[in-house]
């Protein structure tokens, strides 16, 4: 028995030693490959170095950061500085995105999988509909630059809109037009649009993250967040989808009523919009309850 135990122990020690030897060889080979590439940098022009680095991921480039920063050529050191800056920006963005996933992670900790973020666009305008969107993301999710739609340029919103559509598990959109707003009120119309957006989701959500609104008629756990588009990645995505959708609607209305400038102010109460109403009157799509001083 002792002999068998001795043989077993010897075999285990030998196997562990063999594994460490293999790991060491791989490390040496990898180090050799890295050193070979670094040595080749010295023989390459700046353009050739840039081309080599373009084929690498940011993580792969980091392996050569120290060598680039210590290269005797100023232009090569500049490339290293750019990579270092991008690395720092990436880490900052990762930290921000991780924070945006905080409330989603709270719900995931409770065992929920399908978490919908909900937001609206268009509660304040004098004309046009209020639009709501609901978005369910997979876990984990990474969308660089995603944020509150109000903090983004129209071009950036359009770009993120397409990425959200591509990466989301499901996106739902609800619309309440000016007639419903006038017949009821803007809060009721907003909630109706949100309910429509949720209804269009597939799979159906198990819980909700909503920007500044509660939906008591829905029998599921939900959390209302003030300024939720800056606190939740799902709500931020919903704010972008709602905003882009509504802006596109107002752009179409501009083709029908070009003199009102809907493509510029999207129906919001700007000085120019008020002047245009005074000059041309109230249109069919204006919210009459928002314009009681105008006939």
3-state secondary structure 194-242: HHHHHHCCCCCCCEEEEECCCCCCCCCEEEEECCHHHCCHHHHHHHHHH
pLDDT digits (tens, 9 = 90+) for 142-175: 999 999 999 999 999 999 999 999 999 999 999 9
Q: Give the CA radius of gyration of the chain.
A: 28
The answer on pLDDT for 9 being more than 70 is: no
Q: What Cα–Cα distance (Å) separates residue 94 from each residue in 41, 58, 86, 161, 295?
A: 30, 13, 12, 20, 52
Q: Does a cis peptide bond (omega within 30 degrees of 0) precede residue 140?
A: yes
Give the per-residue pLDDT at 294.
74
pTM comes to 0.81
DSSP state of 55: T
Confidence class for position 50, pLDDT limits 50, 70, 90: confident
Q: Which segment of 2-11, 39-48, 186-195 scores lowest on mean pLDDT? A: 2-11
Give the per-residue pLDDT at 189.
98
Compute the distance between CA of residue 37 and CA of residue 14 in angstroms, rounded to an integer: 34
Give the per-residue pLDDT at 38.
53
Main-chain phi, psi angles of 203, to 5 degrees = -70, 165
Confidence class for position 23, pLDDT limits 50, 70, 90: low
pLDDT digits (tens, 9 = 90+) for 178-223: 999 999 999 999 999 999 999 999 999 999 999 999 999 899 999 9
Please give the CATH number for the structural domain made up of 111-290.
3.30.420.10
Domain boundaries in the chain?
1-37, 42-100, 111-290
Q: Going edge to edge, which strands form the sheet with 207-211?
A: 170-176, 130-136, 115-121, 207-211, 221-225
DSSP state of 146: -
Place of tokens 């920006």: 89
Calculate ∠ Cα 176-203-234, nearest 5°.
Answer: 65
Main-chain phi, psi angles of 50, to 5 degrees = -60, -40
The answer on pLDDT for 20 being more than 70 is: no
Give the per-residue pLDDT at 2.
44
pLDDT digits (tens, 9 = 90+) for 200-210: 999 999 999 99
The answer on pLDDT for 13 being more than 70 is: no
Q: Which residues contact 89 (CB under 8 A, 6 or more apart)?
A: none
């Amino acid at each position: 028995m002792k002999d068998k135990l001795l043989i077993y122990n010897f075999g285990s020690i030998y196997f562990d030693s063999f594994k460490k030897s293999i790991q060491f060889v791989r490390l040496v080979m990898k180090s050799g490959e890295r050193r070979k590439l670094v040595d080749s940098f010295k023989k390459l022009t700046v353009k050739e170095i840039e081309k080599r680095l373009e084929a690498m991921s940011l993580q792969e480039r980091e392996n050569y950061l120290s060598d680039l920063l210590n290269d005797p050529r100023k232009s090569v050191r500049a490339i290293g500085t750019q990579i270092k800056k991008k690395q720092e920006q990436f880490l900052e963005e990762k930290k921000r995105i991780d924070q945006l996933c905080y409330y989603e992670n709270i719900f995931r900790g409770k065992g929920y999988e399908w978490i919908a973020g909900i937001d609206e666009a268009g509660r304040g305008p004098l004309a046009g509909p209020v639009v709501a969107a609901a978005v369910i993301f997979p876990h984990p999710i990474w969308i660089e630059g995603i944020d509150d739609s109000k903090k983004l340029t129209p071009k950036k919103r359009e770009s993120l809109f397409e990425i959200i559509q591509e990466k989301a598990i499901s996106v739902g959109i609800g619309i309440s037009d000016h007639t419903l707003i006038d017949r009821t009120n803007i809060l009721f119309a907003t909630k109706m649009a949100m309910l429509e957006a949720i209804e269009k989701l597939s799979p159906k959500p198990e819980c909700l993250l909503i920007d500044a609104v509660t939906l008591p008629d829905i029998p599921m756990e939900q959390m209302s967040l003030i300024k939720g588009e800056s606190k939740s990645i799902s709500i931020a995505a919903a704010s972008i989808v709602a905003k882009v959708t509504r802006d596109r609607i107002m752009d179409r209305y501009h083709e029908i009523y070009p003199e009102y400038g809907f493509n510029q102010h999207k129906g919001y109460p700007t000085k120019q919009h008020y002047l245009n109403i005074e000059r041309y009157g109230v249109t069919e799509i204006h919210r009459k309850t928002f314009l009681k001083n105008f006939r």
